[in-house]
């Protein structure tokens, strides 16, 4: 199968390319090498042409370019990883995320329609759900209310019921959970899914959207605003500092290894043509819950580093708990994570990070 892989020089894209080639696929690799997302030497990977096997070079190309028609010739499926990542927690970030993530995706989809490429695997994210879903003893399944400043300053970090203001408990979320984006990045991921869904309707095409949970592993970017919390803690340990954990460390997440995420993408690439027309979303998660505090403690212990510090710092817009069910991905793609977080996070203590 001939795959067009965007964002091929990135953290996740690099691993997808490796797994796809291991399974015998030809990979046409593109990346913009955006300065905010790549380290200075990243441009060395950009060859402007294919490698000796016809696939390994990473071509520098902005998805907003007019050259997309040429690179789509002979492509069977597109695996779209290219995006500005990070939270985008300032309203001034909105134009950059819209321009890179959404305009770039829209231009790619239009070019795919012209080229007759009908299959897409899209990198989405758990951030589309916002703070997930909760259960109120009185009102049942509810979205969380916006966290109040007086609660946060008093150390009450869990959200309340939006109806009665009482206590609520988090629950696993499925792919039918309503979108509730809280940041520029989250809003752009929702828009990407909507553009892909509209493209499917207009073209009679198929798309699989993989909603990644907290991805970690070798090659994570270090010390950048675009790094996930695992990389931020790992970078602190490398500097000889204790990981600094916001709130009380009880925020619940699912940490999934990058090699599992890469494998999920290749499974989707190989099976998207068997899906019905339209967009099918899948949560890509390990199925194991960890708190942020537990993750920081596991990393520090594996590295023989200083114990994490609970700072009590908070940001009202931060997600408190978000954990998804992986059952649809198991049924629809045959995907199950193979690397347990307790093993993968221990290995992360010595895994190499990508430095800027």
Instruction: List pLDDT tens digits, range 93-124.
Output: 899 999 999 999 999 999 999 999 999 999 99
Dihedral angle computed from the Cα positions of residues 208, 212, 217 and 218, in that order, rounded to the nearest 10 degrees: 50
Q: For residue 185, give the nearest of 294, 256, 85 by alpha carbon.
A: 85
184-205 pLDDT, tens digit per residue, is 999 999 999 999 999 999 999 9
Strands 278-284 and 289-291: unpaired
Distance, first Cα to last Cα, the chain? 34
CA–CA distance, 49 with 31 (Å, rounded to integer): 12
Computed over every residue of the chain, the mean pLDDT equals 91
How deeply is 149 buried, as exposed, middle or buried, from its count of CB atoms within 10 A (0-12, 13-18, 19+)?
A: exposed
> If you average pLDDT over residues 130-136, what whole number do you get?
93
pTM for this prediction: 0.92
Confidence of residue 46 (pLDDT cuts 50, 70, 90): very low
């Amino acid at each position: 199968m001939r795959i067009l892989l965007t964002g091929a020089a990135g953290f996740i894209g690099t691993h997808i390319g490796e797994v796809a080639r291991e399974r015998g696929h030809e990979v046409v690799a593109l990346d913009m090498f955006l300065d905010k997302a790549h380290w200075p030497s990243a441009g060395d990977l950009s060859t402007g042409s294919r490698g000796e096997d016809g696939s390994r070079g990473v071509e520098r190309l902005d998805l907003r370019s007019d050259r997309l028609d040429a690179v789509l010739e002979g492509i069977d499926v597109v695996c779209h990883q290219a995006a500005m990542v990070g939270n985008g927690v300032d309203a001034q970030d909105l134009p950059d995320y819209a321009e890179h993530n959404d305009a770039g995706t829209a231009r790619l989809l239009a070019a795919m329609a012209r080229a007759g490429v009908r299959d897409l695997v899209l990198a989405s994210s758990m951030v589309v759900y916002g703070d997930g879903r909760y259960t109120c003893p009185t009102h049942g399944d509810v979205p969380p209310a916006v966290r109040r400043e007086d609660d946060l300053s008093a150390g009450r970090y869990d959200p309340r019921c939006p109806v009665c203001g009482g206590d609520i408990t988090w629950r696993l979320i499925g792919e039918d959970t309503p979108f509730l984006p809280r940041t520029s990045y989250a809003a752009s991921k929702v828009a990407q899914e909507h553009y892909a869904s509209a493209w499917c309707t207009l073209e009679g095409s198929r798309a699989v959207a993989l909603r990644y949970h907290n991805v970690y592993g070798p090659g994570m970017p270090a010390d950048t605003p675009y790094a996930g919390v695992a990389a931020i803690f790992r970078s602190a340990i490398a500097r000889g500092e204790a990981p600094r954990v916001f709130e009380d460390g009880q925020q619940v997440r699912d940490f999934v290894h990058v090699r599992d995420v890469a494998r999920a993408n290749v499974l989707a690439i190989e099976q998207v043509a068997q899906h019905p027309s339209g967009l099918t979303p899948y949560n890509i998660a390990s199925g194991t819950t960890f708190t942020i505090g537990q993750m920081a403690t596991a990393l520090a212990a594996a590295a023989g580093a200083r114990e994490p510090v609970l700072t009590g710092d908070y940001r009202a817009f931060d997600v408190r708990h978000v954990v998804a069910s992986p059952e649809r991905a198991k049924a629809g793609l045959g995907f199950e994570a193979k690397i347990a977080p307790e093993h993968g996070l221990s290995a992360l203590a010595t895994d190499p990070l990508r430095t800027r």
